[in-house]
Structure 1
Amino acid sequence: MAYILLVRHGENEWVKEHRLAGWIEGVHLNENGREQARQTAAHLAHLPLTHIYSSPLERCRETAEFIAQSHQLPIQFLPEIGEVRYGDWEGQKIAELAKEPLWQVVQHFPSRLEFPAGETLRGVQSRAVEVLEKLGRAHPEQMVVVCSHADLIKLVLAHYLGVHIDLFQRIVISPASVSIVHLPANGRIYILRLNDDGPIKKMGGEEKPDAPEVVAENE
């Protein structure tokens, strides 16, 4: 199965203002976010990427475009890797939401959480993992970029790391960072990178990561 490169979108003004953008349209990368995306594309330029998938939201589309341009690849948009649907919370500032009784559930028991008129985090994790497994089967041993959002990427990594969903916020995913999951045919899943914002090194003298050598280094 595939090497899945999970790329978070770059910075936007809503991130700086600590507001939940969710699926609100018109949230674009700011100048710093564009530079972050440009740097990430440069860090991935030497890798033999074969496919690029993105959340349909603008901040991810714009991030993915930098990577697509450097590899001359089309972008395919998948709603399944789109942002959490925060429902009535979308557009609000975190400081105001923190006053809500539901905020304590968000912080301590996210497995029980359903956003008002929105999704459950378990549902988000399920839809994201399901589509990544499909991509893994569709692109065996190929390197595939998936440009998405912080909470979704954290939920995916928590699943593959065996971390309970109540603890998923312990994982940090920075803007324009790269996390790499190898989904091999033998079912032995490896996290090769987590929240990496630097150059992705070639491993084992190859153009793509080699799972057995990576495991040997880590064990």
Structure 2
Amino acid sequence: MAKIIHLIRHGHHALLGRTLCGRMKGVELDDLGCEEIARCADTFTPPPSMVQSSPQRRCMQSACILAARFGLPVEIVPALDELDYGEWTGLSFEALARDPRWSRWNEQRGTNRPPGGESMRSLQKRVVAHLEQLRNDHGSGTVVVAVSHAEPIRAALLHYSRKELDDFLSIEIDPGSVSTLSVDNRGLKITGINQRVPA
């Protein structure tokens, strides 16, 4: 039964801020990203007893860095996967800025979805269901590290802060950041958002 869940965004990669990678294959951490994740490991007290990861390469690399530090295996969890951006996957942000559907989606995340992709509501449902399973599963570790992406982490934090999906810009999730959920007698509560370890 998890008592603490650390939500880690994968580290920096070369396409960050230029391309909507989503579920693109072969996106890997760069040197900066590896350093960011290595610094994250110093923030976990007590140390984790379980490390989970999105199936995407950049997350698995990040999770492996953390798992190696603590001598743990990495469990791949589809529920932690990035939002499916459908037709937008792999497009530059410059190209997306010319698409009116992109603007509409960013104005109303709660009711719109990427063309051929996944809605934020569906994303939130799968991520929260997984976190609640960790909270209630007696087989899970006491301290869990879950490596994912900005949107899944943001969706979870919006849920636990009781904010609407349209408020997604109110929560910033940087590469290599740690956001933490802790269990009390009422369930999961947020005890840290977007915490970074300085170089």
TM-score (norm 1): 0.85
> SS at the partner of 1:11?
coil
What percent of counterpart residues are identical?
33
Residue 28 (structure 2) aligns with:
28
Residue 160 (structure 2) aligns with:
160
* CA drift at 1:43: 2.8
Gaps of 5+ in 2: none
Higher Cα radius of gyration: 1
Q: Are the aligned partners of 2:50 and 2:143 in contact in 1 as well (CA < 8 Å)?
A: yes
2: distance between equivalents of 1:12 and 1:55? 16
1:74 aligns with 2:66: no
> SS at the partner of 1:13?
coil
Gaps of 5+ in 1: 200-219
Q: Deviations over 1:118-151 (max 9, x none)?
A: 1011000001000111111125781100000001
Which stretches of structure 1, 4 residues or more, deviate above 6 A after TM superposition?
A: none
Partner amino acid for 1:154? Answer: R
CA RMSD of aligned residues (A): 1.6
Q: Deviations over 1:159-215 (max 9, x none)?
A: 00001110012200111100001133x22432111100138xxxxxxxxxxxxxxxx
> SS at the partner of 2:16?
helix
Residue 98 (structure 1) aligns with:
97
**Number of paired residues?**
196
Partner amino acid for 2:123? Answer: V
> SS at the partner of 1:12?
coil
Equivalent runs, 1:35-184 vs 2, <5 Å = 35-44=35-44, 46-139=45-138, 142-184=142-184
1:11 aligns with 2:21: no
Q: Are the aligned partners of 2:49 and 2:142 in contact in 1 as well (CA < 8 Å)?
A: yes
Q: Deviations over 1:66-87 (max 9, x none)?
A: 1101110111001111000001
1: distance between equivalents of 2:141 and 2:25? 35
Q: Are the aligned partners of 1:179 and 1:193 in contact in 2 as well (CA < 8 Å)?
A: yes
Q: Are the aligned partners of 1:150 and 1:173 in contact in 2 as well (CA < 8 Å)?
A: yes
Q: Are the aligned partners of 1:10 and 1:63 in contact in 2 as well (CA < 8 Å)?
A: yes
2: distance between equivalents of 1:85 and 1:54? 16
Residue 194 (structure 2) aligns with:
195
1: distance between equivalents of 2:154 and 2:72? 26
TM-score (norm 2): 0.93
